[in-house]
Amino acid sequence: MATCNLALIGFGRVNRALAELVDQRNDVLEKECGFRLRVVGVSDLHLGSVMSPNGIDPRALTRAGSEKGAFSKISGGHAAPRTEQVIKQTPSDIIEATYNDGESGQPAISHCQGVLAARRHVITTNKGPVALAASALQGLVKENDVAFEYEGSVISGTPVIRMAKTNLSGVGLNGFQGILNGTSNYVLDRMEEGLTFVDAVKAAQEMGFAEANPTANIEGREVRLKVVILANELLGASLKPADVKLCGISPITASDVEDAKKAGEKWKLVGSASRDEDGSVSAIVEAKRLERTHPLAEISGVTNAIAFQSDLLGTAKVTSPGAGRIETAFAIMADIIAIHRGRTASTKTGAA
């Protein structure tokens, strides 16, 4: 039976969940796709690294302590992250799930570049490499005949990119509108219940829906990266974040929310892009009032949704959980399957 070797860069929520899936879902994967997954390397800035060509017990990884250098206690482990060695020395697909720096895209872009240059497939859940460096990375993909997949970077587990690229081919896709950030949507919901903006943000933090510093979510910078990814991937644009006008939810007051309510409308943070008559694509992220009949108006809490506009289907909407460690790990599995299903015999690395 074919085995797909994986090396994980970053071992936080997402890659830890992937290790759990490797532990629990291999029988299903083997039955449905004809191969099993095996973790042969892990590198984490805090926990250290482990390399073992014959496979690392995923439970040893998930049960490792959370103290600095904890991986040194696992067989084949080391207290230092040794990221470069893990990338270069493990014959495997590399799963990049490190910190998201929305401004520079680092260190994730360098990781992806290093992996592709080493002629390995790379899968990332990180928005940075896709939104900020996709064309350079696709150049390396072509040069080295490898794959670069990133389904988890937009709506975690929901395969919107692959679905739109494959199943909406030929439909005449000419735009989309999305609620792409659960934190801001939750905050707006709570404001509708009467909370002030500040209290609604606090409530989101207490529920674990907002980071200690929620600025990137509230100001729409996180959504802007997702809009860039979707516009470039699905509408053939070449947008950079600076090309997308941004107006987040922080200026919205309780009385704005009350006014909208009285008019039968709802405030939402909407990220959208559309093809203009001259064929160019324009995009915007803005807090705006939506009529209750709008396809996105009733999307509540931390749920995400995208309404695709096309010539043949009109509006087609996808609604799903916008985040979640297991959901995002599933997106990685979907990417692995997309790479290896049907090409296990010919692939240079990974499944063999």
Supply the residues annotated as catalytic: 226
| Binding window for ligand NAP (CB under 6 A); candidates: 202-210, 288-296, 322-330, 336-344 | 322-330
How far apart are the C-alpha atoms of 195 and 205, rounded to whole Å?
14
How far apart are the C-alpha atoms of 230 and 137, rounded to whole Å?
16
Name the DSSP class of 196.
-
Indicate whether 90 belongs to the interface with ligand NAP (CB under 6 A).
no
Which position among 328, 344, 347, 349 is part of the footprint of ligand NAP (CB under 6 A)? Answer: 328
User: What is the edge-to-edge ordering of all strands in the sheet holding 35-44?
Assistant: 77-78, 48-51, 35-44, 2-9, 93-96, 122-124, 148-149
Closer of 95 and 281 to ligand NAP (Cβ): 95
Indicate whether 156 belongs to the interface with ligand NAP (CB under 6 A).
yes
Indicate whether 126 belongs to the interface with ligand NAP (CB under 6 A).
yes
Closer of 155 and 351 to ligand NAP (Cβ): 155
| Binding window for ligand NAP (CB under 6 A); candidates: 6-14, 23-31, 197-205, 339-347 | 6-14
Closer of 297 and 326 to ligand NAP (Cβ): 326
Alpha helices in 168-283 (DSSP H): 182-192, 197-206, 215-218, 221-235, 254-262
CB of 323: closest distance to ligand NAP in angstroms?
4
Indicate whether 188 belongs to the interface with ligand NAP (CB under 6 A).
no
Indicate whether 100 belongs to the interface with ligand NAP (CB under 6 A).
yes
How far apart are the C-alpha atoms of 322 and 324, rounded to whole Å?
7
The string of DSSP letters for 131-143 reads: HHHHHHHHHHHHH
How far apart are the C-alpha atoms of 31 and 340, rounded to whole Å?
14
Which position among 44, 93, 219, 233 is part of the footprint of ligand NAP (CB under 6 A)? Answer: 44
Count of chain residues binding ligand NAP (CB under 6 A):
25
How far apart are the C-alpha atoms of 37 and 27, rounded to whole Å?
10
Closer of 19 and 195 to ligand NAP (Cβ): 19
CA atoms within 13 A on the CB side of 93: 30
The contact set with ligand NAP (CB under 6 A) reads: 9-14, 43-46, 81, 83, 97-100, 107, 125-126, 152, 156, 323-325, 328
